[in-house]
Copies of this chain bind each other. A is one copy, B any other.
């Protein structure tokens, strides 16, 4: 999920879409309800069943829609979703209303569930992050945001008067959580890479030494794919006088939480370190037709969550009530097919292809940044919204990014770079092709503008 997931275009009255150049202020359009395009639901005619016209109409809408999905899937680069799905074996289950309501470890009388698959998937993740089977609680969520909402809530229940610390490049759901939960929140500065700046973290911690700390650690930020240094975060806490029973760390591993364990030399996300919870998305690196995620929490903290009898009214420790029972099946199927070994290969391929993309961009005179543990390549924002939309790039301010996922091949990257080079001649035309300066975003070393190259 990108900070730009839902980047609004400025919309003027009447619903016409107006593109804005990057120098214009970026309006947030909230509280509007503009019907740009919509397949209206209409009331069937009395004779529809006889004529079959309605079925025919719906079939034609769906066939056109399928065609557009094929095309859109082909040209997708910007969001961290693995679109290479092969779930034919599961289509036999689509007709069932599978619902894992409540907690995966508390049986329900509703029989059409997939808890036995869900628990298998959770065990796999607990093993990945080195927590014993009987020492975690977890569940399969609807998305990365739910995982973050859960992690921060557990933190707050453990430390009701704790202060939430998160780098300013954290996913927006972290700040949404702070607001929802009425928590005091300190935004911590970041380094140029996008990592949390532990100097600033220390300074902010020192302001509230009397209050416990709840920390969101990014295992891959949304925009730059930067990985916060978990060890340094813990050391900073210790150095500032926070004992292990005075802080709670939630790791937002939306994308890289699953990739990092397979990167050689990468610092480990593991419950052997004093962290409370990790969440990761299932529809990103794994690939799944619908958004989902995995949330693993240290069991003792869930017990803290349950100390208030009132809270038990919820009968479970999840955020949601009814839960999608298909998602665990998709995850179970892929994990079983690929295994740790398969994921390792795919991670290596992604990192390799990300380096290839960065290389091709810089050879073409386009400044680019690729963090060490990441497959997110950051570069100048294209000047043309149509191009951005075609390749479905996520943008922020002056920069755009491509997140190299397993379904993104060298061929596709070549097509993209070739087209980008071609278009830039038009955008920066007149023979004096000059790259824009993106040093403030990606650093002077990575910038290839006339000043920095």
**Closest residue to A334 on the B side, CB-wise?**
B41
Asked if residues B324 and A291 are in contact (CB atoms below 8 Å), the reply is yes
Contact of A142 among B82, B142, B333 (CB under 8 A): B142
Given A1-B101, A41-B124, A320–B146 Cβ distance below 8 Å? yes
A389: nearest residue on chain B (CB-CB)? Answer: B109
A12, CB-defined interface residue at 8 Å:
no
Tell me whether A383 is interfacial, beta carbon within 8 Å.
Answer: no
CB distance from A391 to the nearest CB of B (A): 9
Q: Give Cα A153–Cα B395 distance, bound, in whole angstroms.
A: 29
Judged by a CB distance under 8 angstroms, whether A145 is at the interface is: yes
Tell me the bound Cα distance from A303 to B145 in angstroms: 22
Hey, which chain B residues are within 8 Å of A142, CB to CB? 142, 320, 322-324
Measured in the bound complex, the distance between the Cα atoms of B101 and A3 in whole Å is 11
* Chain A, 54-96, CB within 8 A of any chain B CB: 54, 58-59, 62, 65-66, 69, 72-73, 75-76, 78-79, 81-83, 85-96
Determine whether the beta carbon of B111 is less than 8 Å from that of A76.
yes
User: Do A314 and B173 touch (CB < 8 A)?
Assistant: yes
8 Å CB contact of A123 from B38, B103, B116: B38
Q: Roughly how many angstroms separate A311 CA and B180 CA in the complex, as a whole number?
A: 10
Contact of B388 with A109 in the complex, beta carbons under 8 Å: yes
How many copies altogether? Answer: 2
Contact B181 A321 (CB under 8 A): no
Min CB distance A76 to B, Å, is 6
**Min distance, Cβ A73 to any Cβ of chain B, angstroms:** 6
Cβ–Cβ < 8 Å partners of A340 in chain B? 43
> Smallest CB-CB separation from A112: which chain B residue?
B72
Interface assignment of A374: CB less than 8 Å from any CB of chain B: no
Residues of A within 8 A of B (CB): 1, 3-9, 17, 28-44, 54, 58-59, 62, 65-66, 69, 72-73, 75-76, 78-79, 81-83, 85-99, 101-103, 105-112, 114-117, 119-121, 123-124, 133-137, 142-146, 149, 153, 171-173, 175-176, 179-182, 281, 283, 287-291, 299, 302-303, 305-306, 308, 310-317, 319-327, 332-333, 335-342, 388-389, 392-395
